[in-house]
Amino acid sequence: MTYPVTIVDDFFEDPDGIVEMAEELSYYNPNTGNWPGTRTKQLHVENPRFFNYFGAKLHSLFHDTIPEYWNLQCHFQKIMPFCKDKYSKQNQGWIHQDHDTFFGGIVYLKKDPEPDTGTSIYKVKRGFSFQFQQELKMKESIYKSEIVDEVEYNKAFDAMRNQFVETVRVENVYNRLLLFNNKAHHGVKTFGSTERLTLNFFGMGQYGKMQPLVRTK
């Protein structure tokens, strides 16, 4: 089953209340370099009531009934800028896919967001993409907030970025939901100059009777 790229504005009825709840939670980073910033625990553990509310609301975008079992993972994430220059390559996200999922997505929860802090979707230029381990280590180092050689980092970032062409740009709008399928290459043009708050979610599996997509337009 392939979920289409989907944008829903004004997703939560009371986004201010969701932000207030998110600000009360604890955030952590295991320092693996797999992703930037800090995250809460998985929300099915942190706040089961909100998790089930969000899961049902998300599922209703496409289906009339909830499946017997839907493996959804979600958490809040905060990202501080990595340097003062908003458009420095060290302050841009690496283009990637969300492997081992069947969809991924985000709800933007920063009021008055800066331009270019949304999400872009890309296609590969020549039918494939590949990053060498030494290039990925540069990404991991910056996500760990380690000091990197700027020339070497920019070289690795350009080697990654030059394999793609942007096809869709979705601006960061308060309380906007963006969902995309697992094949979508995506990334952030800039993390901005102030803290970024989002709700990130991933569809990991759906079991039982598979429900048809009844709303895809």
Secondary-structure class of domain 6-207 per CATH = mainly beta
Question: Distance (Å, rounded) from C-alpha 27 to C-alpha 95?
Answer: 24
Residue-wise pLDDT tens digits, 68-113: 667 899 999 999 999 999 999 999 999 999 988 889 999 999 999 9
- Under the banding of pLDDT at 50, 70 and 90, the label for residue 12 is very high
Quickly count helices (H) and strands (E) in the chain. Answer: 5, 9
Closest CA to 179 of 42, 28, 54: 54
Question: Distance (Å, rounded) from C-alpha 118 to C-alpha 145?
Answer: 22
- The average confidence (pLDDT) of the chain is 91
Q: What share of the chain is helix, strand, coil (3-state, %, to 5)?
A: 25, 25, 50
pTM: 0.92
With beta carbons less than 8 A apart as the criterion, state whether 182 and 33 touch.
Answer: no
* Domain parsing of the chain, residue ranges: 6-207
DSSP structural state of residue 40: P
Closest CA to 205 of 76, 83, 69: 69
Token digits for 70? 């839907």
